[in-house]
Amino acid sequence: MDSVKKSFAFRLTVAWFALIIFFAVFGPLLPLPNWQEVFDDALSVTPLKQGHLLGTDSNGYDILSGIVYGARISLFISFTAVFLGGVIGSAIGISAAYVRGKYDYVVSTLFNVVLSVPNLVLSLALIAVLATNVDPNVPTSTGRRITVLVISLTIVIIPILGRIARAATLSWANREFVLAARSMGSKDRSIIWRHIVPNVLPAIFAVAFLAIGVVIVAEASLSLLGAGVPDGTSWGSMVARGRNDIEFAPHIIIIPLIFIALTVISCNYIGDVIRKQLDQRQAKL
């Protein structure tokens, strides 16, 4: 672990997370123009010109401000969806593996059913029904779109993490110390909390980081398809808005793409590190 912690890649990853989380939390305190302020005299400015660090887009919005605000939305959506999906999925997965029997059969069948709709298609379907207004002329508010996005992505995440939790629990539930605790009359609830959860958690965490990456990509894809958040509110929707400018001002989409890609790489890297750690621990047992 220490060698990993000292590695350059690990430090870089931590620094990147620190930066984007700082953007998301303290963004409004930064001395930047409002993300919705239009600079009429500075359209499609390339980075470092006219006082715009990352330039402006073709509408005259400051890109850095957009990135900082987008960090808040993109990270909020992905962290919330993975957190909720993780909690719900783990609760279902752990209990199913612990109880076994019919309940477990129903749960794993349902997981399989939901997983047999490809992620992106499932979230598209959910958004399609949840974000629709009866009157086609009334646009859905950004707030509602974000809520719908979080709900859909949570539903996508539940079976992914639930299945991991279930598998991990199955491998721990029959270990000696659990059986011993059971034979000594411990309550199921306390066995789960004291013995199962702490052991299953690392496996869930490893996949949760990968899941954050998946959700960030999904959010961006959905925005690109016009089903996510509108108006450059998230990184993905900045890409979507800049798509028509790709020929003459590519920086407008390349900058948010870089933020998306680096964040996903970081998530995958951390997930990988945790998984390797786990494998080593498993090997020692």
* Residue ranges binding another protein (CB under 8 A): 109-110, 112-121, 124-126, 128-130, 132-136, 213, 217-218, 220-221, 224-227, 239, 243, 246-247, 250, 253-254, 257, 260-261, 264-265, 267-269, 272
| 56 beta partners | 62
Question: Are the CB atoms for 227 and 127 separated by under 8 Å?
Answer: yes
Q: How far is the CB of 163 from another protein (least distance, A)?
A: 13
Decide: helix, strand or coil at residue 48: coil
Decide: helix, strand or coil at residue 270: helix
Distance from the Cα of residue 11 to its chain's centroid: 21
Q: How far is the CB of 34 from another protein (least distance, A)?
A: 27
Between residues 68 and 148, which has the closer beta carbon with respect to another protein? 148
Question: Are the CB atoms for 57 and 242 separated by under 8 Å?
Answer: yes
Q: How far is the CB of 143 from another protein (least distance, A)?
A: 16
State the Cα–Cα distance between residues 77 and 4, nearest whole angstrom.
Answer: 29
214-215-220-226 Cα dihedral, nearest 10 degrees: 120
Between residues 81 and 173, which has the closer beta carbon with respect to another protein? 81
Between residues 23 and 209, which has the closer beta carbon with respect to another protein? 209
- The token pair at 248 is 């003459």
Between residues 162 and 192, which has the closer beta carbon with respect to another protein? 162
What is the DSSP annotation of 135-169?
STTSPPPHHHHHHHHHHHHHHHHHHHHHHHHHHHH
Q: How far is the CB of 246 from another protein (least distance, A)?
A: 5
Between residues 4 and 113, which has the closer beta carbon with respect to another protein? 113
Q: How far is the CB of 169 from another protein (least distance, A)?
A: 22
C-alpha count within 13 angstroms, C-beta hemisphere, residue 189: 0
Q: How far is the CB of 150 from another protein (least distance, A)?
A: 15
Between residues 28 and 118, which has the closer beta carbon with respect to another protein? 118
Question: Are the CB atoms for 130 and 148 separated by under 8 Å?
Answer: yes
Q: How far is the CB of 109 from another protein (least distance, A)?
A: 7
State the Cα–Cα distance between residues 161 and 155, nearest whole angstrom.
Answer: 11
Between residues 66 and 236, which has the closer beta carbon with respect to another protein? 236
